[in-house]
Amino acid sequence: MKTKLFSVVAFLMLLGSCNKPKLIEIDSERLLETVKILSDDSYEGRAFSKPGSKKAQNLILERFNEAGLQPVFNNNLLQEFSHTFKGKNRQDVFPIEKPNQNYSNVPDTTAYGANIVGMLKGESAKSIVITAHYDHLGIRDDKIYNGADDNASGTAALFTIAEYFKTRPTKHNLIFAAVDAEEIGSLGAEYFLKNYSDKSNINLNINLDMIAHSDYDPELFGCGLFHYPDLRRPLEKINSDKVILLFGHDDPENTEQSDWTFSSDHRVFHRQKIPFMYFGVPDHKDYHRHTDTFGSINQEFYVEAVKIIIQAVENLDEHLAD
C-alpha cells in the first residue's frame, strides 16, 4: 500500500447517494480488544516461525472455534507448512548474530508456520475466501514491531465477520483464512491456494490488510474493480455516514496512483485468475515502524470499516449468486 490519492469520482458517487446507511450490529468492544491483544508486546511482533506467531495461532484457533467455523483441510483448522530459505537469502528473516559474517556460507534454514482456516457453510458449493495475514515483522534492533494496523486489524476483523454471519446464512460458503508469512512473500496464502482442492469453486477473494488507520480523511479503499468491473454495482450500494469508501489503486496505467494489485495476499488469487477485492488504507506514518501500536489506530474509523466490509460480503454474496 503506497501513496494516498483522493478519488473524486467515488467521492461524488458517495455524496450523491441518498440511501440511509444499513444498521450493522457488531461487538465493537471485543473487536478493539482483540486488536489490542494481538498487538501486545507479549506477541513480540508475530514474526513468521517465532514464539509470538505460535501464540497468535492459538488465539485465532480459539476465536474460530467460538465462531463455529468448520475445518476445510483434513478435519483441522490448523494448516501447517514449512519453508526452506536458501543460503544467504535467509538472513532477511533469520538474521545471524555476526553481521560481518560471509552470508554466502550461511546454511539453508527451514522454518515452520501455519494458516488457520475455517468455513461457514453456505447454500451452494461456491465459496468466497476472506483472508487476512496475522504475521508481522517481529523484533528488530531491540524494538517490537507490534503491527496493530498491519495486520492485527484485518485478523481481528475475521472473527467479527464470522460471528456476524454465524446466524445469517449466505449463498456462498464463507471461508475465513488467517494466513501466515505475508510479510516475506505471501507464503501462507500460496500454500493455502496450492492445497485447496477445487479452485474453480472460489468465486472471490476478499483480502483485509491494514484497515484501522486513516491519517487524513476517513477513507477506506476497495481495490480490484479495474480488473473485475462486474463487482462494482454491489459495492456502490454500500453506504456509511462515517467513512468514505473509495475505489482505485488497481490500474497499472494510472501514473497518478500507486497500484496495489500485487501489494498483499490477494495477489496469489489474482495470479490464478480468481477475482479479488482488497480493502485497505494508504501507507501511513506508522507503516512498518515500531510505532504501529494499538494507540496509533483510529478506533471509530476501524469499527466502521469492518461494518462496511460486512456490507460488501453481503452484497457480493448475493451478486455472485445471481
Buried residues in 7-35 as b, exposed as e (16+ CB within 10 A) = beebeeebeeeeeebeebebebeebbebb
The SS3 call for residue 42 is helix
Q: What is the pLDDT of residue 114?
A: 98
Instruction: Give the tens place of pLDDT for each residue, 220-268.
Output: 999 999 999 999 999 999 999 999 999 999 999 998 899 999 999 999 9
90 Cβ contact list (under 8 Å, min separation 6): 106, 108, 109
Cα end-to-end span (Å), the chain? 32
Closest among 9, 1, 2, 7 to 217, alpha carbons compared:
7
Domain ranges for the chain = 8-84+112-321
Question: Cα angle at 321 between 210 and 188, to 5 degrees?
Answer: 35
CATH superfamily of 8-84+112-321: Zn peptidases (3.40.630.10)
**How does pLDDT run across 147-172, given as a tens digit for each residue?**
999 999 999 999 999 999 999 999 99
Of 86-100, 130-144, 263-277, where does mean pLDDT reach its minimum?
A: 86-100
Predicted TM-score (pTM) of the model is 0.91
Q: Is the dihedral of CA 147, 154, 216, 294 positive or negative?
A: negative
Residue 96 has pLDDT above 70, yes or no: no
How many CB atoms within 10 Å of residue 178?
31
DSSP character at residue 28: H
